[in-house]
């Protein structure tokens, strides 16, 4: 009986170790795998910043001599500096913010890197390859001039507490994230909008965690 029980237990363990599965989840669901930077942090920061930018009276319109009747703000999306200890792809944050602002119909955006490289390559092809109708070939010097530049910084403070009898042999990790985004008038250099968002995440693990 003991041998049969041992074999049965071994079979269950082997089966569990050999099984694998893949499933789709809700991309908007709260992600709590650990305290590291994750999808929920990106979505939360991006959403709050977009809402604040759209509500700002200083960014409701931007007049300009060459803009005609279209007074939408023409923006350049700069980068977000990663000052955390983690490898965070902050381009995901800027892409999310730019996409939401563009879809709002309130903002226009000029291309940055790597878009400008592709633009330059295409213009040179149209001008010099001899394959494009000259009347349709695009030329340099006609791009829109941005009114503002949007850029920011992501920072974190991390604290750890090891296991002890006072903590019932649990360990704790606490991470505080601060995201600051700025919008500057390119012509005057004036900071016309700025916002800060914060998130704190704490995890605890037992003796075998």
**Residue 167 covered by a domain:** yes
Using left for φ > 0, alpha for ψ between -120 and 50, and beta otherwise, residue 72 falls in beta
pLDDT tens sequence across 1-38: 555 555 455 555 455 455 677 777 666 777 666 777 77
Nearest CA to 197 out of 84, 47, 64, 86 is that of 47
Place of tokens 């965690």: 209
**Residue 1 covered by a domain:** no
Write down the pTM of the prediction.
0.80
Tokens, residue 75: 């923006």
**Residue 3 covered by a domain:** no
**Residue 156 covered by a domain:** yes
**Residue 179 covered by a domain:** yes
pLDDT of residue 124 exceeding 60, the answer is yes
- Give the domain CATH number at 70: 3.40.50.10610
Distance CA 73, CA 107 (A): 5
Q: What is the mean pLDDT of residues 186-195?
A: 97
pLDDT of residue 154 exceeding 90, the answer is yes
**Residue 15 covered by a domain:** no
96: containing domain: 35-110+145-205
Distance CA 89, CA 38 (A): 10
Distance CA 148, CA 184 (A): 5
**Residue 51 covered by a domain:** yes
- Percent pLDDT > 90 in the chain is 58
Nearest CA to 146 out of 57, 67, 85 is that of 67
Residue 183 is predicted with a pLDDT of 98
pLDDT of residue 174 exceeding 60, the answer is yes
**Residue 16 covered by a domain:** no
For residues 173 and 203, the answer to whether their CB atoms sit within 8 Å is yes
Across the beta sheet with 73-83, what order do the strands follow? 107-109, 73-83, 148-161, 171-185, 191-205
pLDDT tens sequence across 36-75: 777 888 899 999 999 999 999 999 988 887 788 899 999 9
When divided into structural domains, the chain yields a total of 1
């Amino acid at each position: 009986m003991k041998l049969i029980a041992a074999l049965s237990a071994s079979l269950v363990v082997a089966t569990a170790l050999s099984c694998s599965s893949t499933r789709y989840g809700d991309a908007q669901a709260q992600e709590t795998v650990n305290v590291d930077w994750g999808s929920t942090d990106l979505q939360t920061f991006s959403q709050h910043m977009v809402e604040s930018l759209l509500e700002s009276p200083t960014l409701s319109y931007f007049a300009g001599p060459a803009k005609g009747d279209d007074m939408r703000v023409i923006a350049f999306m700069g980068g977000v500096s990663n000052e955390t200890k983690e490898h965070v792809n902050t381009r995901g944050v800027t892409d999310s913010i730019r996409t939401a602002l563009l879809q709002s119909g309130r903002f226009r955006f000029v291309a940055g890197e790597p878009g400008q490289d592709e633009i330059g390559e295409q213009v040179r092809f149209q001008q010099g390859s001899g394959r494009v109708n000259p009347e349709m070939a695009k030329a340099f010097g006609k791009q829109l001039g941005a009114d503002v530049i949007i850029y920011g910084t992501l920072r974190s403070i991390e604290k750890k507490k090891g296991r002890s009898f006072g903590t019932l042999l649990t360990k704790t990790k606490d991470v505080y994230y601060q995201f600051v985004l700025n919008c500057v008038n390119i012509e005057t250099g004036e900071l016309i909008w700025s916002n800060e968002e914060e998130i704190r995440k704490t995890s605890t693990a037992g003796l075998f965690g």
